[in-house]
A and B are shown apart, each in its own frame.
Chain A
């Protein structure tokens, strides 16, 4: 019954030109986030074109394990949050909360992994003044961490609302808006990862 109501709403939305996952405000924010990172990517590629040797050698000095762990954490938390949305759509509120809690726990691993990576970097003499590659690496990855931190705070907020019955199979827009933001942040990391940890 509840699922049917959602399906009807979505058929109507499609007739109007397509669904907006979550809400319009969130997609304005995601568009701004994409534009911001597109500009930062241009800076990366301009620096890479001008200093190819620095970028060839830089990745070898970074901890590839840290980059891989962060990628797996981002992808896994994104998966858990997508599961939270799908189970809520099916009317399985308790399961949806469990998936969201799992998503939060895994997402919290990102700042921890980043802290350990920075500690490792500093122990190996890598800081913001170690060359053009590391300057670009620090500002891009720190910027992503800031966006991920907003996402983690968002997950916390949505979780509190969810625990107090804020979402149902008919209305889960807040949960889906948060999921959209987290997936967008995940996509950005999937682009950053090979730039610094794979291409050497």
Chain B
């Protein structure tokens, strides 16, 4: 029998630090959007910040590491989904559009 020693938390400090981190990353991403307006690598940086914020909520607020494997995978896949698309369309958007058009035209 594999009994994991971790248990749900009753502490508020990790939640408070997570909240502060999320607020800081929100303001930071807004600043980055303004300072590096139009930069080619901006979608990559934004994707990393989105993924990081999502994982922070999953890890500290939902305590994903204690949950059933399905919930853990669901959160990981969903949180990675949009950032991956963000990177793909940021760097290969034109090619995606061409493929979509050629698919539609048969």
Residues of A within 8 A of B (CB): 3, 6-7, 10-11, 14-15, 17-21, 27, 30-31, 34, 38, 41-42, 45-46, 48-50, 52, 56, 59, 64, 68, 71-72, 75-76, 78-79, 82-83, 86-87, 89-90, 179-180, 183-184, 186-187, 190-191, 193-195, 197-200
Contacts and interface: CB of A to CB of B under 8 A. Distances in A.
20 contacts: A15-B2, A15-B3, A15-B4, A17-B69, A41-B81, A41-B82, A49-B97, A52-B93, A64-B30, A68-B26, A71-B26, A76-B19, A78-B57, A86-B10, A183-B58, A191-B82, A191-B83, A198-B30, A199-B43, A200-B33
Nearest to B75: A187
A19 B67 contact: yes
A79 B15 contact: yes
Contact of B68 (A18, A56, A68, A72): A18
Contacts, number: 161
Contact of B12 (A19, A83, A187): A83
Name the residue in A30, A179, A191, A200 with the highest tally of chain B Cβ atoms < 10 Å from its Cβ: A191
Interface residues of B, number: 62
A52 B37 CA distance: 14
Contacts of A87: 10, 12
Nearest to B88: A45
A113 B94 CA distance: 35
Nearest to B29: A198
Given A41-B81, A193-B26, A194-B50, A10 B100 contact: no
Contacts of A46: 96, 100
Interface of B: 1-4, 6-12, 15-16, 18-19, 22-23, 26-27, 29-30, 32-33, 37-38, 42-43, 46, 49-50, 53-54, 57-58, 60-63, 66-72, 74-75, 78-79, 81-83, 85-86, 88-89, 93-94, 96-97, 100-101
